[in-house]
Amino acid sequence: MIVWVNGAFGSGKSTLVDELRPRWPEALVYDPEMVGYVLREIVEVPTCDFQDLRLWRRLVADLAAGLVQEYQRPVLVPMTLVNPGYVGEIFGALKDAGIEVHHFFLNVSPEVLVKRIDGRSFTPGDPDKDEQVRQWCKTRIEPCTAAADTLPSNTVFLDGELTPQELADNVLARVRASPNR
C-alpha cells in the first residue's frame, strides 16, 4: 500500500509524513524528489522541472512499487504531483503493479502557502538561491491549487491548516478503514 500525500509547496506534506512516521513505524518513507536530484546530476532538465522527464515518472512508479513488493511494508510518499497526465501515468503504473494507493491532497489557502514558503530556508548559506527557490515555489501555488479539480476521483481532500496531529489522525483512520488493509 502507498499513502501519497499531495499538495502545493508549503502545504505540509513532509510535516504530515513526519507525524505519521512514529505512529506507523513499519511504514517506509519514499521521497520521489530524490530521484529528480539524481537525474539532474546525470541529464539536463530543459524545463527545470524533473517531473517533465518521462524517465523520472517511470522511475518513481517503479521504485514505489518495488519498495512495496520487496519489503511488504506500506510506503509514505510526500510529493506534489498535479499534472493530470503525470498523475495518471504514475498512479496507473502502480495500479497495474497491483499496488493500492491512498491519495491525500492537502488544501491550504494561497495566503497561508506564501507565508509558509517565506518562512522556509531551502538552501542554507545561499540567500540568492534561497530566494530563487521561494519564488519558483510561489509560481506553483496557482497551478497546484487549480489542479485539485483534476485529481483522481478517489482523492481525499484534507484541510491542510489543521494541526499535523489532526491530519495524521485523519489519514490513519481512513487508511485503517480501507477494506484492503
Pairing of strands 28-29, 156-159: unpaired
Which range, of 2-16, 56-70, 131-145, averages the lowest pLDDT? 131-145
Which range, of 6-20, 78-92, 118-132, averages the lowest pLDDT? 118-132
Domain contains 137: yes
Domain contains 181: no
Q: For the chain, what percent of residues have pLDDT higher than 70? A: 99
Indicate the number of domains in the chain.
1
User: Which triple of cell numbers denotes residue 79?
Assistant: 510529493
pLDDT for residue 48? 87
**Residue-averaged pLDDT of the chain:** 95
User: CB–CB of 169/158 below 8 Å?
Assistant: no
pLDDT digits (tens, 9 = 90+) for 100-158: 999 999 999 999 999 999 998 888 889 899 899 999 999 999 999 899 899 999 999 99
Q: What is the DSSP string of 112-126?
A: HHHHHHHT--SSTT-
Give 154's contacts (C-beta < 8 A, 6+ positions apart).
103
Domain contains 107: yes
| pTM over cut 0.75 | yes
Domain contains 88: yes
Domain contains 180: no
pLDDT for residue 181? 60
Q: For the chain, what percent of residues have pLDDT higher than 90? A: 88
Confidence of residue 178 (pLDDT cuts 50, 70, 90): confident
pLDDT of 76 above 90: yes
Residues 81, 106: Cα–Cα separation, whole Å: 12
pLDDT for residue 120? 87
Residues 108, 156: Cα–Cα separation, whole Å: 14
| CATH code for position 126 | 3.40.50.300
The mean per-residue pLDDT over the stretch 82-94 comes to 97
Residues 70, 125: Cα–Cα separation, whole Å: 39
Q: Show the domain range for 94.
A: 2-175
